[in-house]
Amino acid sequence: MGLPALSPTMEAGTIASWNVKEGDSFGAGDVIAEIETDKATMGFEAQDPGVVAKILVQAGQEIKVGTPVVIIVDDTDDEAALVAAFAEYTAAESAPAPSPAPVSAHLPPLSARTPLAASSPPRSPAPWLA
């Protein structure tokens, strides 16, 4: 699960504290972590119930929105095996993909562009508008 944008302008945040540890189960609406933004500290609420399999980002680290911070698995009878399956997983394996270059980076400057040639003469207005 990636770091959510807790406000429209949030680009990064810091995990202030985790309210759960690996192996803990939680319900929908439970606050699983406290996130510090540039404006406030807010609760990170779970949308669905689950079990924390692996915490990828420790408290105190600043990260970008969307960066994976925790691995959640479904609440099942064999949650210990699911948690153990992620024991060796590291955050480096889950780094977010680099964002694509802006489209404008691929276009030449306006002064270097060739104007489009007219392919047909301009049309006259519709006869009923005359």
Q: What is the per-residue pLDDT across 9-48, written as a single tens digit (0 to 9) for each?
A: 888 999 999 999 988 989 999 999 999 988 889 999 998 8
Q: Whole-structure pTM over 0.75, yes or no?
A: no
Of the pLDDT bands very low, low, confident and very high (cuts 50, 70, 90), residue 83 is: confident
b or e along 4-35 (b: 16 or more beta carbons within 10 Å of the residue's beta carbon)?
bebeeebeebbbbebebebeeebeeebebbbb
> Which phi-psi region, left, alpha or beta, contains residue 112 (left: φ > 0; alpha: ψ -120 to 50)?
alpha
